[in-house]
Amino acid sequence: MARERPLDYLPSAVLERSDFADACARRDLGAIFSIAVKWGGVGITVSHLARRCEMTVSQVQEYIKGGRRAQKIGIFERVADGLHIPGRMLMITNRPWENEEVNAPPPVERVPTESTGSDLGSVPGASGVQLWTSRPAARSAEDLESGEDSDIMVMIQEADRTDIGPGTIEGLYTIFDKLCRDYPSSDASELRRKLKRLYSRVMHLRQGRMTLAQHRELIAISGWVTALLACVDWDMNQREAAETARDATLRSAKEVGHSELIAWSYEMQAWFALTEGRYSDVTSIAKAAQTIGGENSAIVQLIMQEARGWARLGNRKAAESAIGRGHDLLQKLSAINYPRHFVYDTTKFPFYVASCYQWLGDDVKAETYANQVLRECEQNGTTERSPMRMAEIHITLGLVHAQRGDLDAAVDSGSHALTYQRKSAPSLLIRAAELNRVVSEMFPGSRQARELDEKFRAVCEEFGFQPPPQGD
């Protein structure tokens, strides 16, 4: 008795499930695959999904276990095509087969042929194996002339040729992922050099022959690279270069309809506004960008930038509302305990909340969340990999100590913050200027205040940052 063959595509009952729709909106392949296996019916197994989506079984298993996270548009396109998930559900363009299903081709006659050893479409029979091939039911007078069909096939094969070898795009993403993990702690100049080299490599590949899918992937990769480059340039106080790179990110993201990358481009714009003191711009940019939709790290960070903007404006109710929304969305994402740029790891939430409460004047809560960051980084073994975060947390604690009248603790915290080799100059120095001003005003003429001021101005000079005059 023949074994029941699984459906090639997911049944409509799975596509219509609310949890499946939510998983697609989050682009959570692990949840998509888990739901498909559980509710897809007979034969919808991990191996079947791997075959349909052009993956290995271990890759599918890694997605399900949460150890692997998809970023490439091409992966979502393969999953959509392999399982017939409408493009809109995964926030990608409509797939070609969606139109084909509306305008179905005329029926074809299925003709049995003798096996030639191929395993394509084999069906066991009583006296051997037969292959089923499709051919038109009848040939019209307008059929191709003899030999013309083979010429067409040669043309099609030539069009399908590509200069991009197998694994090239995956390799580019692997390099980019490493640079994202290096971002929090690596030397900014060296990181910038590596990013420009990677970008040049991507641009070189874009000049060759490629498939449409490869073209889209290369545009997406170039967008991710310019996004990280914008962050590095901003850290180095190269503001014009950072804005140029951010704009390039947005253009690339819009060209391929990459909603998460679009969201990150606006998040950077909100971050730049925050460090320049344009707090109303921060809230308006962050709120508008959240309408892009989806449940990912970019949206969480946009919400938290909104919270920081409201805190700077002194609006506690709006700030706490945003903090609550950010927390709720963060709970829906996979918990990440290591710092990797463009992924919202667990210690980033209390880090943002600590600064919010310090700006709102609630030193008790600010200190509580700041100490939570220090504690969790120690527990996760990421203290050394988070120097920029550590620096700003020490500034927050320094401001708390200063408000309590503890000069020594305030200056120790501020001095510690300025000693880290890896710095985000605009963010750090704006915060350090606050501490320097508060210490100078509360402890005028003290030796410790003068020492902190000297260290602060030395770092300002290093980055070409104009410190505010004393007494302003």
* Domain termination residue (choose one: 101, 135, 152): 101
Q: Which amino acid is at 438?
A: V
| Residue 219 located in a structural domain | yes
Q: Which residue range(s) make up the domain with 60?
A: 12-101
Tell me: do 345 and 276 sit in the same domain.
Answer: yes
- Phi and psi dihedrals of 294, rounded to 5? 95, 165
Q: How many residues does the chain have?
A: 472
Tell me: do 264 and 353 sit in the same domain.
Answer: yes
Q: Is 418 exposed, middle or buried (0-12, 13-18, 19+ CB in 10 A)?
A: buried
Rounded Cα gap, residues 455 and 347, in angstroms: 28
Q: Which amino acid is at 220?
A: A
First to last CA, the chain: 88
For the chain, how many structural domains are there in total?
4
Q: Are strands 128-135 and 122-125 parallel, antiparallel or unpaired?
A: antiparallel
Bridge partners, residue 133, by sequence: 111
User: Residue 342 belongs to a domain with what CATH number?
Assistant: 1.25.40
| Residue 452 located in a structural domain | yes
Measuring CA to CA, which residue among 89, 92, 88 is closest to residue 75?
Answer: 92
Q: Residue-wise pLDDT tens for the chain (472 aa)?
A: 444 556 778 988 899 998 999 899 888 999 999 999 999 887 788 888 988 898 888 889 889 988 788 878 888 988 999 999 998 898 888 888 887 654 444 433 333 333 333 332 333 333 333 322 333 334 444 444 445 565 665 665 555 567 787 788 889 999 999 999 999 999 999 999 999 999 999 999 998 888 888 999 999 999 999 999 999 999 999 999 999 999 999 999 999 999 999 999 999 999 999 999 999 999 999 999 999 978 999 999 999 999 999 999 999 999 999 999 999 999 999 888 889 999 999 899 999 999 999 999 999 999 999 999 999 999 999 999 999 999 999 999 999 999 999 999 999 999 999 999 999 999 999 999 999 999 999 999 999 999 999 999 999 999 998 887 665 4
297 CA to centre of own chain:
7
| Residue 145 located in a structural domain | no
